[in-house]
Chains A and B, each alone.
Chain A
Amino acid sequence: MDRFNALLKKELASELRTRSGIYSTLLFAVLTTTAVGFTSIERAPSPLVASALLWLVLGFASVTGLARAFIVEEDQRTSDLLRLLSPPGPVFWAKLSYNFLLVLAVAAVVVPLHLIFESVHPENWPLLIVGTISGCGALASGVTFCGSLVAKSSARGAIAGVICLPVLLPIIISGMGAISGSFESSNSDVVIGAWKSVAALAGLSLVFAGIGRQLFPFVWES
């Protein structure tokens, strides 16, 4: 646990001092949210379209943070130092936790902006909050999983695109189901379906974190 804390503190300290990840991610998220908002000036989108737009922004914003996970260690050539200092387990969990905090910070800015620009009004706030948090968890797990697999490859960009697609697609579809349900609480079937989507998001978080943790030592030592 002490190793995990030290590694997470290192990630946060590095981010707070360079602000490279949060600024680029927030810039992308705010720009796209604002641009998408202009398309809804005359007519508010349906709950499903509104939630799809939200998850597209969050999904792509989380991918811009992909490089922060493991690729930055390879680019800065600090991964050897880390390998000498720490076993792979705490490194993986610290990177995942950092990515979760990053995506959560982006969501804390983007979701309120999205509600304002898209003129959508949540009718089920607990569902919106829990759905957003579990979606952020799933995105962080997925992005950390992909980042851990591609970091040591020389063709990271191409491989990341191929690996991220099947990982992020179910997360975004489940996220849409969860958030669209929070916009229409009058239909109980929709709300039940939305909570099932939240459960799916939690499951995806566990699956990607679990697989990533199992595979990471092999990549780490390769």
Chain B
Amino acid sequence: MGCRENFFAAKNVGKRFGSQWVFRGVEFEIPQGECLAVTGPNGSGKSTLLRILARLEQPTEGTFSAFDRPRMGCVAPDLNLYPPLTVYEHFLFAARLRSVQANAQKLIEMVGLKGAETLPASALSTGMKTRLKLGLAVQHEPALLILDEPGSSLDAQGKAMLAEIVAEQKRRGFLILATNDHSELRFAEQELRLG
């Protein structure tokens, strides 16, 4: 899983469920400070590829630059929050597991959840949950940020906040974004089309 320093790369990555290949031969190389957009129709394997890069799933074949999980942040629609825990408790919980400063108030303000700190995740709207996930994903200033259709449930204010997070991540490390929203393609220097 080697790669050149300051580059995030994948070589010949493929994933098969049963006898059905979802994708094969995925290759890319992005330098630090750039964003790779993964696009493609539904079922083309965008989310699966991102789960592989986040090391939540194993590829059937191929290699890629492997980051330790503590150095990654991830936002995905199927990455669920703990329903009984409040917004504030999620930041404290994640910080203690990551052994970093919680910065809860700062992050809550950044993602626009001020006033919702004491709400349990089960009481949040889909957009608010995405905001909370974004806050959790960047809490530890990750080297690699993986975003799976982050803007699909965000309002205009949320999308502006997302643009700030993207800009900050590009200053810090690598960014991979799966999207079908053409307005989000402006974040990316490279595009990988699946399917």
Residues of A participating in the B interface, judged by any CB pair closer than 8 Å: 2-3, 5-7, 10, 13-14, 17-18, 76-78, 80-81, 83-86, 90
Contact = CB atoms under 8 A, between A and B. Distances in A.
A83 B76 CA distance: 14
Ordered nearest first, which 5 A-B pairs have the shortest CB separation? A6-B96, A17-B84, A85-B97, A77-B80, A86-B97
A5 to B, nearest CB: 7
A3 B99 CA distance: 8
Nearest to B98: A85
A156 B33 CA distance: 44
Give chain A's interface secondary structure class: helix
A75 B54 CA distance: 21
Given A14-B85, A76-B83, A77-B78, A83 B56 contact: yes
A3 B96 contact: yes
Given A6-B93, A80-B80, A84-B79, 5 more contacts: A10-B85, A77-B78, A80-B78, A83-B69, A86-B97
Contacts of B78: 77, 80
7 contacts: A13-B85, A14-B84, A77-B79, A84-B56, A84-B69, A84-B72, A84-B79
A161 B54 CA distance: 33
Nearest to A6: B96
B81 interface: yes
B141 interface: no
B87 to A, nearest CB: 14
A14 B93 CA distance: 12
A81 B73 CA distance: 10
A76 B85 contact: no
Contacts of A17: 84, 120
Instruction: Give the interface centre of A6, A83, A84 by most chain B CB atoms within 10 Å.
Output: A84
B94 interface: yes
Contacts of B51: 80
Nearest to A83: B56
B29 interface: no
A10 B78 CA distance: 20
A86 B93 CA distance: 10
Contact of B89 (A13, A76, A90): A13
Given A6-B96, A7-B97, A81 B80 contact: yes
B56 A13 contact: no
Contacts of A5: 96
B82 interface: yes
Contacts of B72: 84
B120 to A, nearest CB: 7
Contacts of A6: 92-93, 96-97
B54 A84 contact: yes
B49 interface: no
A7 B120 CA distance: 17
Contacts of B93: 6, 10, 85
B96 A78 contact: no
Contacts of B97: 3, 6-7, 85-86, 90
